[in-house]
Amino acid sequence: MTGQQRLELCQQMTLEEKLGMIHGNELFRTKGVERLHIPPFSFSDGPMGVRQEYQATKWIPVGSSQDYTSYLPCNTALAATWNRRLAYESGKVLGREARGRGKDMILAPGINILRTPLCGRNFEYMGEDPFLVSEMVVPMIEGIEENDVASCVKHFAVNNQEVRRLSENSVVDDRALREIYFPGFRAAVTRAKAKGIMGSYNKLWGIHCSQNKKLLQDILRGEWGFEGLVVSDWGGVHDTAEAADSGLDVEMSVTDNFDEYYLANPLAEEIRAGRISEKLIDEKVIHILKVMDDLHMFDGERKSGCYGLPEDRQKLLAAARESVVLLKNSKNLLPIERRNGLKLLVVGDNANKFHAPGGGSSEIKALYEMTPLMGIGMIAGGNVEVTYCKGYDSFTTGNIWDAEHADARAAREAQEKQSGVSANETAEVSENGQAISLNENPEDEVTAQVLTEEQLAMNATYAEEAVAAAAEADVVIFVGGLNHEFDTEGQDRRDMSLPYHQTELITRLQQANRNVVVVMMSGSPVDLTGILDTTHTLVQYWYSGMEGGRALAEVLFGDVCPSGRLPETFPLKVEDCSAHSIGEYPGKEAVHYSEGIYVGYRHYETRKIPVAYPFGYGLSYTDFKYNHFRVDDRSTEEHASFSVNLEVTNIGEMDGAETVQLYVRPINSSIDRPLRELRQFEKEFIKIGQTHRISFHLNEQAFSYYDTTAASFRAPAGTYLIEICRDAHTVIMDQKVTLRKDYLFV
């Protein structure tokens, strides 16, 4: 369809028909125009797979057996693979399943930057570094959209906490926006040509992002050339005139009074009264028609999808394997040898818990979920004796086959969604049912699961049993960490502590047995200080999808050589995090991002703040040697151009993958800049004894910062170190280069 044809199609519609296309007519669907053969447009969550089917007008699951789907590793797990191909493959599975379930737009991927470890939705995002996020999100979108399904990159923008997420105003300077918070979205638009963007709930420049003209029109469409569809977050619109004129295309919300949505009857009235031009509506309709056309919704050429295919699970397994991060192995306890008669004790709630149904809108009705205990049992082999002790119980739901809990969960969600706020928030509800204000007290928007006396007593017994069993075992694998009571939408964590007295339990297990492997499962860092010194074997594991437990077990037994790297810094304590250290989290009505660009390792490295584990960190069972590092300057008047070459040899005793990280560090810069910034990386699978050549190309972007006066990126002339690093803290080799002139670009 040409632009002219789309315009003509739009001109044939009545105002009511156009309005039907630009707001929800069901919770996850707009209205089509039957007489013109325009179908409704349907959305579905979310980032970890295609969400279960909800009733058209109520937040109550349909309860069908046809919506069990594949459960993908969460975005943090994907980012931890540092493997662009796996992001692409996972995206492909997600897109294919969305299409298979009859969806037009999948509300994924989520890419907000990890500004604080406490944000409840960090697990849905890709960590703290804009370059890593950009490199991973682009292939993921490409994978999704190959299936004639639109992605929806969310939440645009600066939605970095759940506390007061519906109302807070993120006050961020232009430099931080351009260097830290925008690049992932910009890459999604300019490189991956994403077809969808979701405006976030919060405000930027004092205006809600879902109806923010400067953000959605001037920057997204004007500067970046976005040609897709902007959808509001569910309930993110608050004003008819502002939304109509903002570059937003579709208003979605959480209530069932669809005709009263801001872009429904209230908009019709404004247009009829001549206060809003119908042209604005036409633009939206044309954007929607273009996306529909690109998805082949009119020409009968649309690809078909499917879901739950066994071969797709293999792809998710591959991603889950590479997401496992080995943090410590100082006794070489890992990999565990499956010797005859080995007594293996598995301890911890997370070893035996299903996580797929939790987390909020990223919940998944998984076809199955392989827990760590299942994975370990499955591949330990009959000669190894595997026993399990709870050690502690989180007393949370999580069993998808548990009808009683499933009902309770559904009821809670229904209540949350219907009021437009999470269960712990109190909202005043306006006449049309929209949440208009939030609890004054942010304390109520943080997670603090309180166990009853009885539950505490039960946990004391579970701990006793586990410690006694540990004394009899050869090896203990403890699987703890968080769960979706903590890593969840609508709430942040109160602090970084390990819940359920795990620190104490781990310490006791270590006293009872010298061979304790500690596996932490979470979407964000937890406070490890109580166990860092006593723990010789530590693994970070995430919500790694339906095959996660098997992937973890394969790493523990050495069938797979670990190769995950942290996509975020693990600080020692939350006060060390920049936003917290300056008292700007959680903020009040306004959240001042006064730390500017000093987010994550940019803060820890520049200010020399010790951390538990730096960004980019991760160990292997094998060793790699770096050699023949060489940088050649081929810069011209127009562009900086450096080619970087090096060789990496696997000098260990196991085939494995290495992630080569390249950072650029300005020397004697007159401009305030982070110590170093990630500018390239490459993951290579290298067999024992083999050498691979790694080549990078750097242009002016690699040296640039955002110059607010020039409103452009600037790579200033000067001296820089090109650093090849093991992680954001550890330099392996470096070379000095000189940029002979300034380069300015947008």
Q: At closest approach, how far in Å is the CB of 45 from ligand BGC?
A: 5
Q: At closest approach, how far in Å is the CB of 619 from ligand BGC?
A: 34
Q: At closest approach, how far in Å is the CB of 15 from ligand BGC?
A: 27
Nearer to ligand BGC, 154 or 550 (CB): 154
Token pair belonging to 417: 């969604």
Closest CA to 489 of 120, 51, 123, 156: 120
Please, what sign has the CA dihedral across residues 106, 111, 112, 118? positive
How many C-beta neighbours within 10 Å does residue 66 have?
Answer: 10
Nearer to ligand BGC, 128 or 233 (CB): 233
Nearer to ligand BGC, 46 or 656 (CB): 46
How many C-beta neighbours within 10 Å does residue 21 have?
Answer: 25
Please tell me the count of residues contacting ligand BGC according to CB under 6 A: 7
Q: At closest approach, how far in Å is the CB of 384 from ligand BGC?
A: 42
User: Which residues, numbered 46-75, are part of the site for ligand BGC (CB under 6 A)?
Assistant: 46
Q: At closest approach, how far in Å is the CB of 169 from ligand BGC?
A: 17
Pairing assessment for the beta strands 537-541 and 516-521 based on DSSP bridges: parallel
d(CA 449, CA 165): 20
Nearer to ligand BGC, 107 or 163 (CB): 107
* Residue 361 near ligand BGC by CB under 6 A: yes
- List the catalytic residue out of 45, 129, 233, 527: 233
Nearer to ligand BGC, 358 or 656 (CB): 358
| Environment class of 461 (CB within 10 Å of its CB; exposed 0-12, middle 13-18, buried 19+) | exposed
Residue 245 annotated among the catalytic residues of the structure: no
Token pair belonging to 287: 């954007």
| Environment class of 476 (CB within 10 Å of its CB; exposed 0-12, middle 13-18, buried 19+) | buried
In a 13 Å sphere around the CA of 94, the CA atoms on its Cβ side amount to 37
Helix residue ranges, H only, 192-333: 213, 240-244, 265-272, 278-294, 310-323
Please, what sign has the CA dihedral across residues 284, 287, 291, 293? positive
Owner of token pair 């009808």: 403
Nearer to ligand BGC, 202 or 502 (CB): 202
Q: At closest approach, how far in Å is the CB of 361 from ligand BGC?
A: 4
Q: At closest approach, how far in Å is the CB of 44 from ligand BGC?
A: 9
Q: Identify the residue among 59, 71, 234, 663 touching ligand BGC (CB under 6 A).
A: 234
Element (H, E) at 453: helix 453-472
Q: Identify the residue among 29, 103, 115, 154 touching ligand BGC (CB under 6 A).
A: 154
* Residue 233 near ligand BGC by CB under 6 A: yes
User: Which residues, numbered 107-146, are part of the site for ligand BGC (CB under 6 A)?
Assistant: 107
User: Which residues, numbered 17-46, are part of the site for ligand BGC (CB under 6 A)?
Assistant: 45-46
CA separation (Å) from 396 to 143, 356, 461, 588?
A: 34, 13, 18, 30
User: Which residues, numbered 609-648, are part of the site for ligand BGC (CB under 6 A)?
Assistant: none
Nearer to ligand BGC, 422 or 515 (CB): 422
Element (H, E) at 477: strand 475-481
* Residue 266 near ligand BGC by CB under 6 A: no
Pairing assessment for the beta strands 718-725 and 656-667 based on DSSP bridges: antiparallel
How many C-beta neighbours within 10 Å does residue 448 have?
Answer: 14
Q: At closest approach, how far in Å is the CB of 405 from ligand BGC?
A: 21
DSSP 8-state class, residue 287: H
Nearer to ligand BGC, 150 or 324 (CB): 150
Give the interface with ligand BGC as residue ranges (CB under 6 A): 45-46, 107, 154, 233-234, 361
Catalytic machinery residues = 233
